Amino acid sequence: MTESARVAVYLDFDNIVMSWYDRVHGRNSYSKDRQQITANPTDAAIADRLAAAAIDVGAIIDYAASYGTLVLTRAYADWSNPVNAEYRSQLVARAVDLVQLFPAAAYAKNGADIRLAVDAVEDMFRLPDLTHVVIVAGDSDYVPLAQRCKRLGRYVLGVGVAGSTAKSLAAACDEFATYESLEGVAVPVAEEEKKPTRPRGSRAANRKVDDPQATAKTLLERALRMGQEKEDADWLHSSAVKQHMRRMDPSFSEKALGFRSFSDFLKANEAIAEMEETGHERLVRFREQSTE
């Protein structure tokens, strides 16, 4: 963070609430419970499910503030909805402007993506000293906004719930963090993850599942090989390697993978990454595989 960094934050609040509810209670849970949530959010069973999937507003705001001074923060939602209304005092206490949106029909989108995008572009022209734009959402509809912000010279940060965020949105940002990787966010085990796995040979068992650790390892190897070729040097600064990995995949986060630091991530992948510490410098190079 630099002292002159000035940050604008835009939250598609409905998107985050629904996505986190699905993350906690299982895929499509919000859609299944929507009618009960709308009709009687104080019902004991529904209230418990909503409480278990409560959003930590402070974690999002603190993450954005770590990049610079928050010039403006806006949250877009239907604040007459009792579920969203529960967060109003938290948001106002953190100086968040609440933008009221109303759905066109009972289950229609509330148009947050359009209103948010229009406001963000207007703010960039109105406030030319803005340096960072934080988009808290997961919808691919925000890809054009992220691209426009970058073309206008802003550093774009994305925040979204893992599993509910379009890969195209993460790729369109300069940097992307999953909500569950933010400091202070507790990640409950989703109900569908508690269910016993199907017998081997079933369709679910044979379905290919992405392995985040393997994906990160492949990303590290590519960054090391490309960095050494570009710099024409064996040893690279670990910070430069991480920056290269983030450029190739803005969603990369060592903390989301369970590591306290990037150095810990490198040490866990010593089969492909060789480290050397010289004074205050941490250097790393690709470990050539033995042919024996």
The dihedral over CA atoms of 146, 107, 18, 61, expressed in degrees to the nearest 10, equals: 50
Dig out the tokens for 108 from the structure.
Answer: 């229609």
Q: Give me the amino acid identity at 220.
A: L
The reported pLDDT for the residue numbered 201 is: 44
Report the alpha-carbon distance of residue 58 to residue 15 in Å, rounded.
17
Q: Which of 253, 286, 281 is nearest to 269 (CA)?
A: 286
Report the alpha-carbon distance of residue 240 to residue 283 in Å, rounded.
10
The reported pLDDT for the residue numbered 19 is: 95
Task: Name the CATH superfamily for 212-286.
Answer: LOTUS domain-like (3.30.420.610)
In CATH, the architecture of 6-186 is: 3-Layer(aba) Sandwich (3.40)
Dig out the tokens for 91 from the structure.
Answer: 């948001």
Are 257 and 212 spatial neighbours (Cβ–Cβ below 8 Å)? yes
Report the alpha-carbon distance of residue 152 to residue 271 in Å, rounded.
41
- The mean pLDDT values, 10 residues at a time, for the chain of 292 residues are 81 95 93 90 92 92 90 94 91 93 62 91 96 96 96 96 93 93 77 50 45 90 86 88 86 89 94 87 82 48
The reported pLDDT for the residue numbered 232 is: 83
In order, the DSSP letters of 130-166 are: --EEEEE---GGGHHHHHHHHHTTPEEEEEE-TTSS-
Residue ranges covered by each domain of the chain: 6-186, 212-286
DSSP, res 285: E
Q: Is 201 helix (H, G, I), strand (E, B) or coil?
A: coil
Q: Is 281 helix (H, G, I), strand (E, B) or coil?
A: strand
The reply to whether 6-186 and 212-286 are identical in fold is no
The reported pLDDT for the residue numbered 3 is: 56
The reported pLDDT for the residue numbered 287 is: 87
Interhelix angle for 13-25 vs 29-39, to 10°? Answer: 110
Dig out the tokens for 11 from the structure.
Answer: 């939250």
The reported pLDDT for the residue numbered 99 is: 96
Report the alpha-carbon distance of residue 22 to residue 192 in Å, rounded.
10
